[in-house]
C-alpha cells in the first residue's frame, strides 16, 4: 500500500475573500463529513453549508525513487475511507518568483482538490467542471493557493485544482533516462494529463459532467493549457479551454517561455547530470539525489517550457495551432494590458533599485542579442516614463499580447474562439510597491476569479464594489464556456470581426483587434519572425 503524506488543514473556503491553503481551518472543524466513492476507494470530505470539498486526494503514485523522471503511475487503492480533509504537499520548489510563491515542498506531491456547490437548485443534471492548472514558470506554485469559492458557489461549477511536478523534477531530458523506453521530458505536463484522466473517471460521482470539462490556467498554467490543446495524449479529456497569459508557448526566439527542442533540453539535462557529480550520466545516480540537492543545483538547467519530445508534443505548438493540428475544443484566450510590469517589478523588489537606462539596454541584449538595437528603436526610452516602463512594454507585447493575437487568428479557423484583455489598471496588487505604476499587471486578474489571491506569500488586497461587479462578469464567462455560442455580450473572434472583450471599469466593452494590435506593436513583432 502506498502511504500518502498529508499536510496542513483546510481553509475556511466559504468565506468570501479567504485564501485557500493559507492556514486557519476553524470554519471546518464542526462541519459535517461526506463520503463519495472513487475508483481508488471511498473518500471523506467536508461540507461547510455552501460548498463540499475533497482535498489532498492522490491522483498518481508518489513520483519518488525509481518513479522519479517516469510518467505518472496510478496510485494504489486504499482499503479504508480516505481522509480528504487536508491539503497534500506542494511539489519541491525554490522561491523564484518573488511574492508569487513560497519555497518548500516534497516529491510526494501529486494531489488534487475538488470543490462542489451545495446549492444546485438552479441546475438540473450534472454540473460543468472547471479544472485549474496553476502558473509559476513551471518552477513554483500549487493548487491550494487558489480559492474556488466564487467559481463554485456563484458559478455553480465543480472546481478541480492540483499539483504537478516542477522545475528539473518536472521538465527534464537526459540520454540514459530518455532511453528507458517511456515517454520522457514533460513529466509535469504528463501529470496534468493524468489529473484530467482522474477527472474523466471520477467526476460524475461528485456530480460533474465529464463531457463538459473546461481546463484553464494562467501564465505557465496558460502555456500548459496550450500544451494540452496541442498534445495528442490529451485528446478527448476536455471540451473547452481558457488560456490566460499563455501565448509564450508559441515563441520561437530562444528566450523565456519558448518551447524547447528536445536536443536543447537534453543538453541542459546532460550538463545538470555532470554538475550533480554523476559523471557516467547514470540515471541511478541522479535518482539517488535528494530533492533538496536537485533544487540547489537546478537553476542554470531549468527548462521552463514544453519540450518538443515527439510524443507528448509531436511538433512545435505554434506549428500545431497554425495548421489546425490541435484537439477539438472551444477556446478563450487573453492577456492583461500591462503584463510586463510584473517582470519589471521582480528585480526592483529584489534589489531595492529601479532599472536604469543602461539596465534596460542590457536587458534587451540578453533577450534579443544583435536584434536588440532594432527593438530599442521600436521602444525608445523617450516614449516611456522610466526604463522599467519601457522594459515592461517590450515584455507585454512580445511575450503575451502579440502571441495571443496570433493564436486567436490561427485557432479561429477551426474552432470557436473568444478573445479578451484584462485592463483594470486600478487592480489591487499583492506584490510590494514599485517606483512605476503596475497597472493591469501579469497575474492581477487572478483575484477577480479566485477571491483574495495573493500568490504564495504576497499581501491580500480586496476588490472594491466596481471591481467585484467586474469579477462577477468574469466568473460568469469562465463557468459557462459550454454556452459560449449563445453569448450576446461577448462575440467570438473571427477573421471577419476581430472582437476582443476588454475587462475594464466601469464594465466590459468590446474593442476591435486592429486597435489592440497597434497598441501592442504586433506588426513589428510579427515582422521579426519570433512566432
Q: Tell me the catalytic residues.
A: 219, 339, 442
Cβ-based burial of 55 (10 A; exposed 0-12, middle 13-18, buried ≥19): buried
Cβ atoms of 523 and 513 within 8 Å: the answer is: no
Local structure of residue 85 (DSSP, 8 states): B
Nearest to residue 300, comparing CAs of 136, 167, 395? 167
Counting Cα atoms < 13 Å in the Cβ hemisphere of 14 gives 17
CB count in 10 Å sphere of residue 153: 19
> Residues 382-396, buried b or exposed e (16+ Cβ, 10 A)?
eebebbbbbbbbbbb
Q: Distance between CA 162 and CA 149 in Å, rounded?
A: 16
Interatomic CA distance for residues 236 and 326, integer angstroms: 11
Q: DSSP secondary structure string, 15-54?
A: STT--TTSS--GGGTTSPEEEEEETTEEEEEEE-SSEEEE
Q: Report whether 50 contacts 148 (CB < 8 A).
A: no
Please report how the helices 341-351 and 387-395 are oriented relative to each other, as an axis angle in degrees rounded to 10. Answer: 140
Write out the E strands in 99-139. Answer: 111-117, 127-133
Secondary structure string (H, E, C) spanning 292-322: HHHHHHHHHHCCCCCEECCCCCCCCHHHHHH
**CA–CA dist 479, 374 (Å, integer):** 42
DSSP for 224-259? Answer: HHHHHHH-GGGTTS-SEEEEES-GGGG--SSSTT--
> What is the spatial distance between Cα 188 and Cα 186, in angstroms, rounded to a whole number?
6
**Helical residues (DSSP H) of 289-425, grouped into ranges:** 291-298, 317-322, 341-351, 357-368, 372-378, 387-395, 402-411
Rounded distance between C-alpha atoms, residue 120 and residue 156, angstroms: 7
**Which residues are bridge partners to 295 per DSSP?**
none
Q: Are 335 and 249 in contact (CB under 8 A)?
A: no
Residues 6+ apart with CB under 8 A from 202: 38, 39
Amino acid at each position: 500500500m502506498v502511504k500518502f503524506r498529508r499536510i496542513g488543514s483546510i481553509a475556511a473556503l466559504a468565506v468570501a475573500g479567504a485564501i485557500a491553503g493559507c492556514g486557519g481551518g476553524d470554519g471546518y472543524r464542526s462541519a459535517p463529513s461526506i463520503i463519495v466513492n472513487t475508483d481508488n476507494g471511498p473518500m471523506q470530505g467536508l461540507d461547510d453549508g455552501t460548498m463540499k470539498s475533497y482535498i489532498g486526494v492522490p491522483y498518481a503514485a508518489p513520483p519518488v525513487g525509481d518513479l522519479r523522471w517516469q510518467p505518472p503511475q496510478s496510485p494504489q487503492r486504499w482499503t479504508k475511507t480516505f481522509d480528504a480533509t487536508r491539503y497534500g504537499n506542494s511539489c519541491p520548489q525554490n522561491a523564484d518568483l518573488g511574492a508569487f510563491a513560497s519555497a518548500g515542498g516534497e516529491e510526494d506531491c501529486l494531489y488534487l482538490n475538488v470543490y462542489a456547490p451545495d446549492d444546485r437548485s438552479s441546475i438540473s443534471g450534472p454540473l460543468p467542471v472547471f479544472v485549474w492548472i496553476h502558473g509559476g514558470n513551471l518552477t513554483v506554485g500549487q493548487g491550494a493557493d487558489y480559492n474556488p469559492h466564487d467559481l463554485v458557489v456563484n458559478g455553480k461549477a465543480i472546481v478541480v485544482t492540483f499539483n504537478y511536478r516542477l522545475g528539473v523534477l518536472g521538465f527534464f531530458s537526459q540520454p540514459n533516462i530518455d532511453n528507458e523506453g517511456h515517454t520522457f521530458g514533460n513529466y509535469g505536463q504528463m501529470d496534468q494529463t493524468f489529473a484530467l484522466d482522474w477527472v474523466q473517471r471520477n467526476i460524475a460521482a461528485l456530480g460533474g459532467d465529464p463531457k463538459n470539462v473546461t481546463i484553464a490556467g494562467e501564465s505557465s498554467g496558460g502555456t500548459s493549457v496550450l500544451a494540452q490543446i496541442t498534445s495528442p495524449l490529451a485528446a478527448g479529456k476536455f471540451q473547452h479551454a481558457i488560456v490566460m497569459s499563455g501565448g509564450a508557448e508559441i515563441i520561437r526566439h530562444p528566450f523565456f517561455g519558448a518551447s524547447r527542442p528536445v536536443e536543447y533540453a537534453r543538453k541542459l539535462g546532460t550538463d545538470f547530470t555532470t554538475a550533480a557529480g554523476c559523471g557516467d550520466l547514470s540515471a541511478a545516480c541522479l535518482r539517488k539525489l535528494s530533492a533538496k540537492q536537485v533544487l540547489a543545483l537546478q537553476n542554470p538547467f531549468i527548462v521552463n517550457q514544453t519540450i518538443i519530445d515527439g510524443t507528448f508534443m509531436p511538433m512545435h505548438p505554434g506549428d500545431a495551432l497554425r495548421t489546425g493540428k490541435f484537439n477539438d475544443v472551444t477556446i478563450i484566450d487573453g492577456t492583461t494590458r500591462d503584463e510586463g510590469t510584473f517582470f519589471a517589478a521582480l528585480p526592483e523588489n529584489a534589489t531595492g533599485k529601479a532599472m536604469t537606462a543602461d539596465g534596460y539596454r542590457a536587458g534587451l541584449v540578453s533577450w534579443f542579442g544583435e536584434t536588440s538595437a532594432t527593438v530599442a528603436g521600436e521602444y525608445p526610452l523617450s516614449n516611456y516614463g522610466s526604463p522599467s516602463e519601457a522594459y515592461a512594454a517590450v515584455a507585454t507585447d512580445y511575450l503575451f499580447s502579440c502571441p495571443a493575437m496570433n493564436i486567436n487568428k490561427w485557432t479561429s479557423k477551426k474552432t470557436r474562439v473568444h478573445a479578451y484583455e484584462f485592463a483594470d489598471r486600478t487592480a489591487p496588487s499583492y506584490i510590494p510597491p514599485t517606483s512605476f505604476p503596475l497597472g493591469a499587471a501579469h497575474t492581477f486578474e487572478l483575484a477577480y476569479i479566485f477571491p483574495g489571491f495573493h500568490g504564495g506569500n504576497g499581501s491580500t488586497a480586496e476588490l472594491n464594489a466596481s471591481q467585484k461587479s467586474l469579477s462577477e462578469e468574469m466568473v460568469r464567462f469562465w463557468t459557462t464556456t459550454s454556452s459560449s455560442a449563445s453569448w450576446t455580450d461577448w462575440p467570438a473572434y473571427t477573421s471577419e470581426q476581430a472582437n476582443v472583450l476588454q475587462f475594464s471599469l466601469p464594465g466590459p466593452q468590446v474593442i476591435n483587434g486592429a486597435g489592440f494590435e497597434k497598441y501592442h506593436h504586433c506588426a513589428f513583432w510579427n515582422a521579426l519572425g519570433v512566432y
